[in-house]
Structures are given as structure tokens and as C-alpha cells.
Amino acid sequence: MQKRLNKQGFSLIELLVVVAMLGIILAVIFSEYIRVLQQAAVTRKVVKTETDIVNVVWPLFKEIESAGFGIPAKSMTGSGSSCTKANDFSAFKYDSANNRIIIHSTAVGDKKNAGAWSAIGSSCKVSGIPAGEYVAVINPSGMAELGWTSTLTSGTDVILASCDPMWIDMIAYWTPDTGGLECGEAFYRMTQYTSSNKPAICAPSGSAADEKVGRLMRSIAYNAGQDNSQPMLECIRDFSFRFGCISKTSGSLTWVTDAANCSGSTGDLRLVKIGMIVQESPADSSYTAPTTITLFSDLGASLQKTVNIIPTQRNYRWRPIERTIVLRNLE
């Protein structure tokens, strides 16, 4: 009898207790597994955002910094197919109505004579610009356009094909052959999503205009009305600018909200500060974003921009990005 009792199995209650304990242990393990997967998804999104910033935002900064490397073709004459920027050789512009940055001459930045210029000497002599090239004539005081011509060879000197005596001591700036591309320009802007093109991973937009989520777009245009915008960076909450003007007389720096305000006593446009708010992760119920994110906080209250993060966007991580860019070639 004692031997038979020792051979009895577990009771039903003991089995139920063991199953319950295993269920609790497995539930804890599964819960931790799900948490690790969610954290990995967040980490992948952060890494992707970092990659996007390197691959998209950094080239944007460098492109703005290099604005002015050559003057777009036909920007002096506006001939051909109605150049969009006829008689306008500005290397860099801010279109406040559409909140976009326009960069001229990117199409010629890698050509051999890009950035070449010369003071115009007596008898309209120039140096450093090969014969047979086209030049824009610029008054360095205020960067006003005076004309457009080509260079010719006369003996050992390079002279302008046609020259107004008033051009002496002005600047001849290389521009590509007008038989090539039209008025090359690149522009960047934030475009709000529509219901049909919004990626599922992006935070929802609010009803107000300043609550929208969008994407950073880049376009290269050569002709009037041309727009071949391509998305560069997704899930953008804000894309804003501030502009630094340096006085010619005192050298003092003044920050403004519109590049057009850099004139007269304020000074010339020399600095651009770009501010962006980029979504860093998909929805994460364990995280709550702040109700506001402030850009340009170092410029004082009047120039700061406060972006409201509405309730439906607060379970997403947002990363503010700022960079001050010196427009080197405009010096």
C-alpha cells in the first residue's frame, strides 16, 4: 500500500497551480518581448531619421552655403523660353509668400569657371575669365545688375566685347553660355500632406493651418512655371527661417524674419538660420511630447517661433533641428 501511494501523480490542484505559474511567466516574457520589439521599432525610426538628416538636410545646408557659385544661364537676358528669373541674378532668395528658399546657380556650381569674377579695369580689361565666355556686370554696391556681355581676346588681354565706360571698376561675373540651360534654380519648401499621400507612420495633422504635418520638397526649375518637386524628408512639423543682416558701416548683426528686410542701414544678407521639427518615431503610447517646441530661442522673444504640439501628435517624438549658415560666396 505504501508503495502504491508513493507512485501516485500530481493532484489536479497542483497541476492547475503549475499551469497558472507558467502562464504568468510566459505573459511576463511575452510582454517584455513586445516591449523590446516596440523599442526596436522606435530605435530604427530614430536611426532612419538620423540617416535622412545626413543625406538630405546636410546637403541642403551646403547648397545654401554655396549659393552664388556662378550666375544662372539667361538670367541677364531672359531670352529663349521666358526665363523665370529674367534680369535677376540673386544667388539666394526667400519667397515669403510660399515660405520657400530659392537657390540660384546650382546647375553651374561644378563647371570649371563657376565663381570666377574680375574687377573691370581700364579699356574694359578683365582677368581670370577665359575669352569667349559670358559675364554679368555687377555694381558691388548693392549688387545691382548693370548689363551682360561676352569676353574677347585682344592681343594678350581679355576684354569685354561691349563695354559702357560706367562699367570701369565694376565686377564682371562669369555666367554659363546662354545656349545651354535656362535660368537654373533649386527651391526647398514644406508641403502639407493630403489624405491620399500622407504616410501611415506620420503623426496626424490638426485642423488649423499651423498644426499641419508635411514633407520637405526640393525642385529644380529651368523654365517658366516648371515645378518637378520631389519629396526629400517625410513627417515634418515645421520648416522656418531667420535671416542675419550685417551692416556695411558698423559691422553689426541684425536678425530679421524676411530676407527682403536686409537692406539699407540694416545691412546685407549674410546669414541664414534654418529651423525644422522632424518626427523621430512612430506612435509610442509610453511617451508624451511637450505641448510646445520653440525654434530660434537664442534670437530673442520677437524672433522665436513656438510650435504647438496638439494632443493627437503628442505620442510621437519630435526633434528640433537648427543650423546657422554663412552665405560665403555672397561675401
Confidence (pLDDT) at 57:
76
Specify burial of residue 116 (Cβ count, 10 A radius: 0-12, 13-18, 19+).
Answer: buried
Q: Contact at 8 Å (CB) between 89 and 76?
A: yes
pLDDT at 108: 56
Task: Check residue 46 and give its pLDDT.
Answer: 62
pLDDT below 70 — which residues of the chain? 1-10, 37-50, 52, 54, 68-91, 105-111, 114, 142-144, 154-156, 176-184, 221-227, 329-331
pLDDT of residue 179: 52
This model's pTM is above 0.75 = no
CA-CA distance, 52 to 210, in Å (whole number)? 24
Angle at 255 between CA 253 and CA 257, to 5 degrees: 155
Quote the CA–CA distance of 209 and 207 in Å, as a whole number: 7
Using only C-alpha atoms, the chain has a radius of gyration, in whole angstroms, of: 30
